[in-house]
Amino acid sequence: MPRGRTTIADIASEVGVSVPTVSKVLNGRTDVAAATRTRVEEALERHGYRKPVATRTAAATRPGVRLLDLVFHAADNLWAQEIIKGVEQVCGPERVGVVLSELGGSHRPPQEWIDDVMARRPLGVLLVLSGLDAKQRHQLASRNIPFAVVDTQGEPPSGVPTVGSNNWNGGLSGTRHLLALGHRRIAAISGPDDMLCSRARVDGFRSAHDEVGVPWDPDLIRWGAFDAESGYRHGREVLDRPDRPTAVFAGSDYQALGVLRAARELGLRVPEDISVVGYDDLPISQWLDPALTTVHQPLREMASLATRMLLTLAAGGQPPSMQVELVTELVIRSSTAPPPATTTTGAGR
C-alpha cells in the first residue's frame, strides 16, 4: 500500500475498532482506552498515515479558534522575549492565539505535551531550541499539524522547516573585529559544546585566527551555559591568569554581562584593559556600561519568518524555502578597543 493513501477505515479494520474510534484518537480525544489508543497510534505510524488537509479543516468543530503552539526549552530571558515578540507580530494581526509552553530546560517535550497539542489542534507548532523525536514528529504529521524550528543550533532535522542564523559567520566577524584592533590573545567563552550553535561560533573564532596566521590557545576556549553566571565564572578564570588575554569573545550578551563583572572585580577596565564582544544584540545591550559590542542575531525576524512558514503550510501552501538562515551582523559599540600598549603577549605580528 503506498504511504499516505491509507484511510481511517483501513486503520479501523486492521486494528479491529470502529471508524469513530480511530477518528477520536486522531482528534486527540481522551475518551479512548489507553491500550486501544496505542494500537491505533502504532497502525497510523506503520502506514505513515496523514490526515488530508481538507478533512482536517472540515473536522474543526471549533470555527474561529486558530492557535499556534510556541515551545521553548527555557523562556526566562530576554532572548526568549525577542522570539515571542516576533511570533506575536505575525499572529496578532492574523488573530491566531499563541499558546506558550516551556519545557523547563529540556530539549524534548514530554508525551503529555504532544497529547495536549493533538487535543487542541493548533495550526502549527513552532519549536525553539528544541526538537521532537521520530514518534512525536509522526504523531503531528499524521494529524497534519505542521511544525517548524527556530534553530540557532544550526542542525535542522531533514525536511523540517527551519529558520536559523549563521553562527559560524557570527563567530568569524566578532573575532575578526578583535584581531583587526590588534588583539593577539583572545579568549572564547561559548555555550554548551554539544550544541552546534556554540561549536559553529567557536569554529568561526578559530578560522578568523587562521586567516591572519595568529595562533589560538585551546586553554582559552571555554564551554558553558549561555547565562551570566557562566560568563562570570569563566571570565574570572581566564582573566585571573598571569598570561591573561586582552579580549574575550562571549557566546551571549548574558555571558558578556558576567565577563564585565569578572573584569570589574579583578580591577580591569573595559575596554582599556580588556575588550569584550557579546552575542545576540539584545535590546538591553546598548544600555550596559560600557555599551556592548556584539553580534546581532535577528531573533524577531527569525521568529516572524518561521511563523509565516507555518501559517503557509497550515493553509495548504508551500513556503518559498523550507530551510532559511538569516545573516548575523557585528554591532560595534564601546566595549572593544585596541589592546593596552604593553602586554605580556603582544608579540603576535
**Strand 329-331 vs strand 293-296: parallel, antiparallel, or unpaired?**
antiparallel
Q: How far is CA 262 from the centre of its chain?
A: 27
Q: How far is the CB of 61 from a copy of itself (least distance, A)?
A: 6
When the beta carbons of 64 and 320 are compared against a copy of itself, the nearer one is: 64
Q: Which residues bind a copy of itself (CB under 8 A)?
A: 28-31, 61-67, 69-70, 75-78, 80-81, 84-85, 88, 92, 95, 97-102, 104, 112, 115-116, 119-120, 228, 257-258, 260-261, 264, 283-284, 287-289
d(CA 121, CA 58): 13
When the beta carbons of 141 and 228 are compared against a copy of itself, the nearer one is: 228
d(CA 278, CA 336): 10
Cell numbers found for residue 233: 565564572
Q: How far is the CB of 193 from a copy of itself (least distance, A)?
A: 24
d(CA 164, CA 171): 15
Q: How far is the CB of 338 from a copy of itself (least distance, A)?
A: 21
When the beta carbons of 173 and 336 are compared against a copy of itself, the nearer one is: 336
When the beta carbons of 75 and 295 are compared against a copy of itself, the nearer one is: 75
d(CA 345, CA 349): 11
When the beta carbons of 196 and 299 are compared against a copy of itself, the nearer one is: 299
d(CA 65, CA 69): 13
Q: How far is the CB of 323 from a copy of itself (least distance, A)?
A: 27
DSSP for 124-171?
Answer: EEEEES----HHHHHHHHHTT--EEEE-TT--PPTTS-EEEE-HHHHH
Q: How far is the CB of 141 from a copy of itself (least distance, A)?
A: 20
